[in-house]
Structure 1
Amino acid sequence: MLVSNTSWYLYNFRRGTILALTAAGYTVVALSPIDEFSCRLEQELGVCHQPLALDGKGTSVLGEARSLLALGSAIRRLKPAFVFNFTVKANIYSGLVCRALGIPYANNVSGLGTAFIHDSWLFRRVRSLYGIANRGARRVFFQNREDHNLFMSHGLLRNTPTHVLPGSGMDLARFVFSPLPQPVPFTFVMVARLLGDKGVQEYARAAELVREKYPRARCLLVGPLGVSNRTAITREELDAWVKAGYIDYRGETDDVRPLLRQAHVLVLPSYREGMPRTVLEAAAMGRPAIVSDVPGCRHAIRAGKTGWLCQVRDADSLAEQMILAIERSFEQLQEAGLAARRLMEAEFDEAIVVRAYLQCLSGSLDVGEVSPSKNGVR
């Protein structure tokens, strides 16, 4: 079973893992809230999708209790042999349920999220529960060493085995290298959920500053609006940026490759990441990136070679780096893009991640009862 706070996440970020598990003979169940990708999980990836009532941004005691009970009921009913949890609430709630029921599970820390970016009584309690859930896991996967060290320093792991992976891995056959487009108009693209914590507001302000100097520059913004998160960008904010003319909003898409082909540089001024998928996708297609100098983001590039760093929460710093990118020679941008692709091939191949999950399963399951066979799951 794979548990997440959205079906979108499982389809877009874990499709390679799902396909590898089914190819190995496992029966895979996806437990996640219903969205437009729920059917695609079943129809395209061959998994059994089970709906989950889980509010990604909810904080009320009653609402969260309902989510925990719903998750517990589903896991008791389905009796999975092993559970992989993804995203913060799934890690905590599913981890607590699996630990109570004696079901083996692994947590995947794909980013620390709001609970670690902000500090309050509520988020301190969240971190405490995270530790309880992690300490019962067969393994906790991380996407960068700094997140791993932070969990260790906060006592959120103790003796739980851990493994640092290169994000969710890149499908290098799907995200193939693409030459840079013509230099004019110079095009930036930010691909992210429209959240304050992703640095969307800083990107909008930086775009305004860049276009004051280079009016023909394009600043594309791609991603879902109305996301279930406490820092979600409002429709009014977005409309104001678009009306002013410095943001070109392209909406949500399930295939970012055509937009990445149009761009010269990807931008992600996030406040913190595990390992930003959009930076890896852009790099695989030969696009350098400007990212904030924070955990996760800085691990996705090689500063000065495959991309450049800006200060976090600083639109002026971001605008400065965007202007420098415009003023670099086309040959310099091409070399950075080629270096980005080479980095993906050397260190971020999806096969590394899939192999780690399969090894986790083979070391945790009873071979005589639930390991895959030629005829499927025993």
Structure 2
Amino acid sequence: MNDKTIVLVSNTPWFLYNFCQGLLRALVRRDFRVVCLVSNDEYSQRLSEEFGVTLRGMPMEGKSTSPAREGKCLFWLYGQLRELRPAFVFNFTIKANVYSGLACRALRIPYANTVTGLGTTFLHDSHLFRQVRRLYGFANAGARRVFFLNPDDREVFERQGMLQKVDWAMLPGAGVDVTRFAFKPLPQEGPFTFVLIARLLGDKGVREYVAAAVRVRSEHPETRFLIVGPKGVSNRTAIDDDEIEAWQERGVVEYVGAQDDVRPWLAQSHVLVLPSYREGLPSTVLEAGAMGRPVIATDVPGCRHAVADGETGWLCRVKDVESLAARMRACLVMTPWALSRVGVAARRRAEKEFSQDIVVAGYLACLEASLMNHQRVKMEA
């Protein structure tokens, strides 16, 4: 075992770059050699250059269900981990948790799984997804710790027998850097602006957002609706380019694409909207709150834990366009003082409950306990 090598496994460099910066920096500061096993995307080079980590391109496709392709990915991970023999492996996202977890169990490499959300595997039911859930439970059983981002996800795992005799802990999502996402007063000029920041997936409630925008703009035509996030995502519910272009041609929403820095878009907006079907703990909600932006989100796992209904934002019914539109209309008639008060409460909650430091400390405590246990076993041998 290489005591100075730590491996992170995720479906994409985009995920690690956007949600694991605090952990990456902490590991590098402690002089670990950090290796990321990820598929390739436009964030690969940035992840390597900005954090000084080593990347190895993993043959994983998010929406693939081909046994041949999935088997290739599993055996590739097994080969990489057998070669690296890291001191510890942190796994993120469903396929990484399952495949890397299975490989780590077989190789007796200590690891932790982070349940970043239940996603398509739990939102839809079929023989295939039932088999995936069984494998997921087996992969979790060998983990030193399974991290959850909300209690609802933990209850699902427990109810389905996927947490038997497993050490688990709760984290506040990926956390938020409250210094980088500094508080900004709400805009005093220009049209009232809503913004959705998410990957363009059906499961993120993007279509409901657009449909609600149509209804609200019929009564308040000056209102602005932004969409920020990547399209062309490898996911079974990805929205195709033609549908996105049709929305823009109708002039209802402004799609500005993926953005390296979402802070300017939050700064020019009054309210963040996330009508997702289910989340782990959405980072965009934490970031919006840190900047003093109220949030409208669906009353589903993850979202309901990130938003204190009536205090830091509001919850609406999932997959219910009228419920979402009603919340938007209510924001439009609030006084600037009342809306700002909600934003200030969101900032305070972000500082108290969702700081990135809490997340990093949780991961490092797990790692240090594993390393100490390894040293103890070596001394006793």
| TM-score between the two structures when normalised by the length of structure 2 | 0.95
With over 3 angstroms needed to count, the CA separation of the structure-2 counterparts of 1:292 and 1:368, relative to structure 1, is closer
Equivalent residue runs for 1:216-295 within 5 Å: 216-295=222-301
Aligned equivalents of 1:369 and 1:136: distance in 2?
Answer: 19
Q: Is the 8 A contact 1:4 1:32 kept in 2?
A: yes
Residue 210 of structure 2 aligns with which residue? 204
Q: Is the 8 A contact 1:183 1:330 kept in 2?
A: no
Post-superposition Cα deviations, 1:169-227, rounded to whole Å, max 9, x if no partner, equal: 11111100011002540000000000000000101101111110100100000100110
Residue 101 of structure 1 aligns with which residue? 107
With over 3 angstroms needed to count, the CA separation of the structure-2 counterparts of 1:368 and 1:142, relative to structure 1, is closer
* Residue 86 of structure 1 pairs with residue 92 of structure 2: yes
SS of the aligned residue for 2:86 comes to: coil
Of stretches 299-308 and 39-48 in structure 1, the one that deviates more from structure 2 is 39-48
Post-superposition Cα deviations, 1:1-32, rounded to whole Å, max 9, x if no partner, equal: 00000000001110111001111222211110
SS of the aligned residue for 1:298 comes to: helix
Aligned equivalents of 1:34 and 1:158: distance in 2?
Answer: 34
* Residue 343 of structure 1 pairs with residue 349 of structure 2: yes
SS of the aligned residue for 1:28 comes to: strand
Aligned equivalents of 1:358 and 1:123: distance in 2?
Answer: 32
Aligned equivalents of 1:234 and 1:197: distance in 2?
Answer: 13
Q: Structure 2 residue aligned with 1:11, among 17, 20, 37?
A: 17
Residue 328 of structure 2 aligns with which residue? 322
Residue 219 of structure 2 aligns with which residue? 213
Aligned equivalents of 1:53 and 1:265: distance in 2?
Answer: 38
Read off the aligned partner of 1:322 and give its amino acid letter. M
Aligned equivalents of 1:308 and 1:328: distance in 2?
Answer: 13
Post-superposition Cα deviations, 1:111-163, rounded to whole Å, max 9, x if no partner, equal: 00101111111111111110000001000000001111111111101111100
SS of the aligned residue for 1:316 comes to: helix
Read off the aligned partner of 2:208 and give its amino acid letter. E
Read off the aligned partner of 2:28 and give its amino acid letter. T
Read off the aligned partner of 1:205 and give its amino acid letter. A
Post-superposition Cα deviations, 1:43-84, rounded to whole Å, max 9, x if no partner, equal: 111111111110011001111111111111111122211000
* Residue 77 of structure 1 pairs with residue 77 of structure 2: no
Equivalent residue runs for 1:101-250 within 5 Å: 101-182=107-188, 184-250=190-256
Q: Percent identity?
A: 56
SS of the aligned residue for 2:272 comes to: strand
Runs of 4+ in 1 over 4 A off after TM superposition: 366-370
Q: Structure 1 residue aligned with 2:53, among 33, 38, 47?
A: 47
With over 3 angstroms needed to count, the CA separation of the structure-2 counterparts of 1:183 and 1:309, relative to structure 1, is farther
Residue 373 of structure 1 aligns with which residue? none
* Residue 21 of structure 1 pairs with residue 21 of structure 2: no
Q: Structure 2 residue aligned with 1:357, among 363, 367, 371?
A: 363
Matched positions, count: 370
Aligned equivalents of 1:369 and 1:175: distance in 2?
Answer: 39
Aligned equivalents of 2:373 and 2:151: distance in 1?
Answer: 32
Read off the aligned partner of 2:124 and give its amino acid letter. H
Read off the aligned partner of 2:315 and give its amino acid letter. L
* Residue 31 of structure 1 pairs with residue 37 of structure 2: yes
Aligned equivalents of 1:78 and 1:211: distance in 2?
Answer: 56
Aligned equivalents of 2:287 and 2:129: distance in 1?
Answer: 31
Per-residue deviation, 1:368: 7.5
Per-residue deviation, 1:300: 0.3
Read off the aligned partner of 1:64 and give its amino acid letter. E
Aligned equivalents of 1:293 and 1:336: distance in 2?
Answer: 18
SS of the aligned residue for 1:189 comes to: strand
* Residue 57 of structure 1 pairs with residue 48 of structure 2: no
| Runs (5+) with no aligned partner, structure 2 | 1-6, 377-381
Read off the aligned partner of 1:358 and give its amino acid letter. L
Per-residue deviation, 1:366: 4.5
Aligned equivalents of 2:218 and 2:284: distance in 1?
Answer: 27
Aligned equivalents of 1:173 and 1:117: distance in 2?
Answer: 35
Read off the aligned partner of 2:84 and give its amino acid letter. L
Aligned equivalents of 1:367 and 1:41: distance in 2?
Answer: 31
Aligned equivalents of 1:367 and 1:156: distance in 2?
Answer: 25
